[in-house]
A and B are shown apart, each in its own frame.
Chain A
Amino acid sequence: MTRDPEDTVLRVGQSDSDRYDRMRRVGWVDMDAVHSARILVAGAGALGNEVVKNLVLAGFNTIDVADMDDIVVSNLSRCLFFRDGDVRKVMKSDVVAQRASEMNPDACVSSIPKRIQEIDDWDYDIALGCLDNIAARMHINSHTYFRNIPYIDGATDGFRGKVHVVLPGGPCLQCTMNRTHVREAEKRFTCTGSSSTYVPRMAADITTTAVVAAMQVREAIKIASGRMDMCLKHVAYYNGESCEMFTAEASVDPGCVNHLLREGV
């Protein structure tokens, strides 16, 4: 929403007393829409911590964060909401929800301490994927695509990262997958967590995590503000070793089951 300068009465120091003043200075950002958007964050690990932090600071007030894991020591190098005293005592989603809410009293961050596959309420405006395996990503992708919920998927592997934006009607995550993804789909790539079903651990670092999470939330701000036209089309790949980034476009796979289901075929 754009403020009418004619209706504005400026007070001394006003610009520093508004938490979101600097955000409002970005002309296209609709802070009312950002405040009211209902957000799902799937995964409360490294990416999930960074994404929720960015969401709360950016003014998203209604956030559900889902994760089935508890906290282990090796999480502490990448997760700003986790503390030593949390290790093996609490669920990741519970801690993220509690400490993120403390960052901003306007934010209501709720925990869903269960598997992504067990989420049964899909009343969201935007979903952000912060997951560690293809199968869970495919699950979120299917549910969000069927319900016309924009989905912003983030992924990392060491110093490499990726952000994939799926908008209603466009190519979805599955449209870009091939035989190599199918082979990997049932492996649960993770670097921590007692519930891991697949080893080896993956390389991960906070700097790449931070870059990918920042891009994810930036795309969420665009979508919430009604500026899907500005969104990434469709995938951005980041190489932190060479500090290079490039984008690639996807196309709808006519055989993609998500598109066939959505069209009622």
Chain B
Amino acid sequence: MGIKITVKNTADGSTIKMEVDPKETVSDIIDSAAEYWKRDAGAYVLKKGKSILRGTDTAMEINLMSGDTLEMIPDPEGGQ
């Protein structure tokens, strides 16, 4: 049974509901959300509470629970 969470896009405030398998990783969640929002290819991080989540960590390892909200943040890489 999957973990039912909400992912919030901090770029525009929109949200999506997702069902995540405990073995799926943070990077898997980012990829799925980015694909749903049809975001341009780019770098993103996922934040839970105050913490940036590591890409290789699984939903189980980050103690993801049904009802949690994760924030997806576009990670700027320009500067020139």
Interfacial residues, chain A to chain B (CB-CB below 8 A):
43, 45-48, 69, 129-134, 137, 154-157, 160-162, 175-181, 183-184, 189-193, 202-204, 209, 212, 234-235, 237, 239, 247-251, 253, 255
Contacts and interface: CB of A to CB of B under 8 A. Distances in A.
B78 A176 contact: no
A132 B79 contact: yes
A43 B16 CA distance: 38
Contacts of B45: 176, 178, 248
B75 A162 contact: yes
B54 A175 contact: yes
B74 to A, nearest CB: 6
B24 to A, nearest CB: 12
Contacts of A134: 43, 77
Contact of B79 (A156, A237, A249): A156
Nearest to B53: A178
Contact of B76 (A43, A157, A234): A157
B41 A183 contact: yes
Contact of A157 (B50, B56, B78): B78
B63 interface: no
Contacts of A177: 43, 55
A161 B56 contact: no
A179 B31 contact: yes
B51 interface: yes
Contacts of B80: 43, 45-48, 69, 130-132, 189-193, 204
Contacts of B77: 132-134, 137, 155, 157, 184, 189
A58 to B, nearest CB: 20
A190 B78 CA distance: 6
A253 B52 contact: no
Contacts of A47: 79-80
B73 interface: yes
B20 interface: no
A231 to B, nearest CB: 16
Given A130-B79, A132-B80, A175-B54, A157 B74 contact: yes
Contacts of A160: 11, 74, 76
A72 B73 CA distance: 31
Interface string B1-43: 0000000001100000000000000110011001000000111
Question: When A and B form their complex, which 10 residue pairs have the shortest distance between CB atoms, in order from nearest?
Answer: A178-B55, A45-B80, A157-B76, A179-B27, A132-B80, A47-B79, A202-B78, A155-B76, A180-B43, A181-B43
A134 B44 CA distance: 12
B40 to A, nearest CB: 9
Which residue, B27, B34, B51, B75, has most C-beta atoms of chain A within 10 A? B75
